[in-house]
Amino acid sequence: MRRFRVPDGTPEAQYRHAGLLAVQLCLLLTTACTLALSGPLRVGPTDQVLLALLLVQHAGYVLWLRRAPQRFQLIGLLELGGELLAGTYRMREVLLVDHTAHGLSGYSYWLALPYLVASLALPPRAALAVSGAYLLVLGALGAAYWTNPDVPPGLRQDNGNAWLQMLLMHAALLTVITLQQHLRRRYALAVTRAERRSAQALRDPLTGLPGRRALDDWPQLPGGLHSVVYFDLDHFKRVNDTHGHDVGDDVLRHVARAARAALRAGDRVVRWGGEEFLLLIDGDAAAARAAAERLQDRLRRDPHPVAGPVTLSCGVAHRRPGEPLDSTLGRADRALYAAKRAGRDAVEVAG
């Protein structure tokens, strides 16, 4: 099981769990209906007992899948093993023991189910190997039936033809399920790659912070009342000129780490570009000013090991009801330049 484990919570795991749950619910419903109609359907006492046991089994699997969805692979393997053994045994009885049987029995309709369960419980190659082996066993039973001299010729012809048609249908079904698995995996891989590229496009590679494009993916921002802190590093060009761009890049990472640490839950920090950053504060202008001052204080207490103390000029703006975010950012930008004119290392609040 460890080798075949699908990571919990992934779309692949959710798909497989939902598929197995649907199979178990269908089996539970079918078993319950057959048991309820056992009289009109002339189901024998032994088969009624087996149906009752199957009803308990499927009900237990459904409950297990609901309460422990992460165990879906184990449940699928148990169901698969039971179906393989039951199908092989029942068809052996029909074909090689009960030579007077007309037709392939009602159980033959369920012989294709292991292909579906294997595709849900196992990875593609393992599912194909198990399903292919099962199909070969069914084919071997049919060959043994056809060559058995104790089977009446007329019965052999009728049941042998039905068996051959069934095997061909099984082969077609197995082919379709295998192709569907392959296409699903390719689709899932393409989606994963697209999501990764999208996340990379929205994230600043230098600091690891969300970039300005990430604002488009935060739907909570347009509807609520927020404040912003627009800040940049004072005399950052001097850092690059004195210590080089590698140190300058490390200073930006240093500020990004400090900004993350200074924020409360619900607040966010964005790299706006160059040495400019943006704090998105879930609160009023006073809360935003407090966040900016916490960040400034943290940087004073923790200077960069090469460039030394880092100071910030900050502009704060509270978002007015119904105000477009661009307008709020414009007021914060004007407050930022007011902080620079005031001598830098300052926080100014927009009116």
- As annotated, the active-site residues are 275
Of 123, 83, 86, nearest in space to 1 by CA: 123
d(Cα 111, Cα 131) in Å, to the nearest integer? 11
- What is the maximal distance between C-alpha atoms in the chain? 106
94 in helix, strand or coil? helix
Q: Where are the alpha helices (DSSP H) in the chain?
A: 11-36, 45-67, 72-92, 113-121, 124-147, 153-201, 220-223, 236-243, 245-262, 285-301, 325-341
| 13 contacts 6 by C-beta, under 8 angstroms | yes
Listed in sequence order, the residues at least 6 apart from 199 whose beta carbon sits closer than 8 Å to its beta carbon are none
In this structure, the number of other CB atoms found within 10 A of the CB of residue 39 comes to 8
| In contact, 319 and 278? CB cutoff 8 Å | no
